[in-house]
Structure 1
Amino acid sequence: MKKIALSLIALAGMALVSGPSIARDRLTGQERLARMLEGRVAGKPQSCVNTRVYSDSQIIDGTALVYGHGKTIWVNIPANPEDLRRHDILLVRQFGPELCRQDIVTLLDNASGIFKGSISLGDFVPYTRVK
């Protein structure tokens, strides 16, 4: 009987731990982006961003690409953002240190490496944390 009670307690604990991650996975791309931008203020859109400085990138499902971390992040909403999936591989043909508006990014399936399509980048909007 003790083993059953301990097992139930352990299962309940695991449910509590995994609960928030399940809810996080159910957020839409727009909701995820909104959470990332909480406490940040949008700056003037730029046509290019230096990827040596902002090399971290994140795909927000069906919504945007986010570059950088920390105080300032750069959000890019490409043409046909609905094609973006969190686990896609981005193949960027970059000529120099900058990634710019209208650059073409090829999307590959993460599991198979098969070509999924291409997107054309939009403006890069900086979002800076406010104190």
Structure 2
Amino acid sequence: MPAVSAAEDSPKQDRGEAELAKVLEGRVAGEPVKCLHQSQRDRLQVISGTALVFRDGKTIYVNRTSSPRFISNFDLPVFKPFGSNLCKLDQVEFRDRTMMMPGPVVTLTEFIPYTKVEEPDNGD
């Protein structure tokens, strides 16, 4: 990647990383999983230049994709799973919300689950 392109992406990625850090505050990462069932991916948050975030109850799953710089919360993600689950190596196409024109296609990576850190009971 040329240095100019990396420099142009940097502010967007920095904002995205800061937004993701806020979403994950107070949570710890678990072992990566390869697939999410339908019930685990009902609530989606797209963080531009950074990741796709799926919420399932108390767990948040983060997928940074093969090319996070192409992720945009201004575009509509269209998932193209090979089966009923959404899995690593499935593709996501981002389309313009107004014209529905096809845009970048990214490949999903493993989903990292994050759960809240349990606060120790102080006996109060």
Query: Does structure 1 retain, via aligned residues, the 8 Å contact 2:40–2:54?
Result: no
- Provide the residue aligned with 2:111 in structure 1: 124
- Provide the residue aligned with 1:79 in structure 2: 66
TM-score of the superposed pair, with normalisation by structure 2? 0.78
- Provide the residue aligned with 2:42 in structure 1: 55
- Higher Cα radius of gyration: 1
SS at structure 1 position matched to 2:40: coil
Q: State the Cα distance separating 1:87 from its structure 2 match.
A: 2.0
SS at structure 2 position matched to 1:59: strand
TM-score of the superposed pair, with normalisation by structure 1? 0.74
Query: Does structure 2 retain, via aligned residues, the 8 Å contact 1:46–1:124?
Result: yes
Query: Does structure 2 retain, via aligned residues, the 8 Å contact 1:57–1:66?
Result: yes
Query: Does structure 2 retain, via aligned residues, the 8 Å contact 1:52–1:97?
Result: no
Q: State the Cα distance separating 1:70 from its structure 2 match.
A: 4.0
Q: What is the identity percentage for the equivalent residue pairs of Structure 1 and Structure 2?
A: 38
- Provide the residue aligned with 2:29 in structure 1: 42
> What per-residue deviation string (whole Å, max 9, x for no partner) do you get for residues 76-100 of structure 1?
0101110111121111123443100
2:95 corresponds to 1:108: yes
Runs of 4 or more, structure 1, over 3 Å off, are: none
Distance 1:88-1:74 versus aligned 2 partners, 3 A rule: same
Q: State the Cα distance separating 1:69 from its structure 2 match.
A: 4.6
Query: Does structure 1 retain, via aligned residues, the 8 Å contact 2:42–2:56?
Result: no
For structure 1, list consecutive stretches of 5 or more residues without a partner in the other structure.
1-26
RMSD value over aligned CA atoms?
Answer: 1.5
Higher strand share: 2
> What per-residue deviation string (whole Å, max 9, x for no partner) do you get for residues 72-125 of structure 1?
110001011101111211111234431000101111011221111100001100
For structure 2, list consecutive stretches of 5 or more residues without a partner in the other structure.
1-13, 119-124
Query: Does structure 1 retain, via aligned residues, the 8 Å contact 2:16–2:47?
Result: yes
